[in-house]
Amino acid sequence: MTEGSSRKKEDLIALALEARKKAYASYSHFPVGAALLTESGQVYTGCNVENASYGLSICAERVALFKAVAAGERRFKAIAVVTETMATPCGSCRQVLAEFGEDELQVIVADPEGQVKIYTLGELLPASFTSKHLPPLR
Ligand code: THU
């Protein structure tokens, strides 16, 4: 996403903000919304979905990514994440994003008041472990 595509960035944040309204965050009371932009221009959104068995809860970013992959998408340009506190994706989500996203994937973090910060996945998860590090199957 370049300077010229700031409209797209704002649109992606708006979709993440909308997705956040659907968060099922009964335990943490920390709703998260995410919107993932594919290379082809499609957007898949996600929210966190918690569970009474806390460890089964899933983050908004992974919901968005899994929806996209289940729809046949494999190539991504950017993800916007909206939280009250400008939270960056957790370690598990960074790893899951790295399975499909390049180091250049833009991670746009925003809050409902309009604060925005942009990272790359490479910045958030340098020297990541990927399938490149797996030995050939024997
Ligand atoms: N959460 C996300 O959805 N994304 C993140 O990047 C960080 C954490 C969720 C998980 C849980 O439902 C709540 O936020 C509190 O950790």
Dist. CA 47 → ligand 1 center (Å): 9
HSE toward the beta carbon, residue 39, CA cutoff 13 A = 11
Instruction: Map out the domains of the chain with their CATH numbers.
Output: 5-130 (3.40.140.10)
C-alpha–C-alpha distance, residues 47 and 10, integer Å: 18
Would the CB of 83 count as within 6 Å of ligand 1?
no
Across the range 91-107, mean pLDDT stands at 96
Per-residue pLDDT at 93 exceeds 60: yes
Q: What percent of the chain has pLDDT over 70?
A: 95
pLDDT digits (tens, 9 = 90+) for 6-54: 669 999 999 999 999 999 999 999 999 999 999 999 999 999 999 999 9
Closest ligand 1 atom to Cα of 93:
6
Q: How far is the CA of 56 from the centre of ligand 1 (A)?
A: 12
What pLDDT, in 10s, does the model give residues 65-81? 999 999 999 999 999 99
What tokens does 125 get? 């998860």
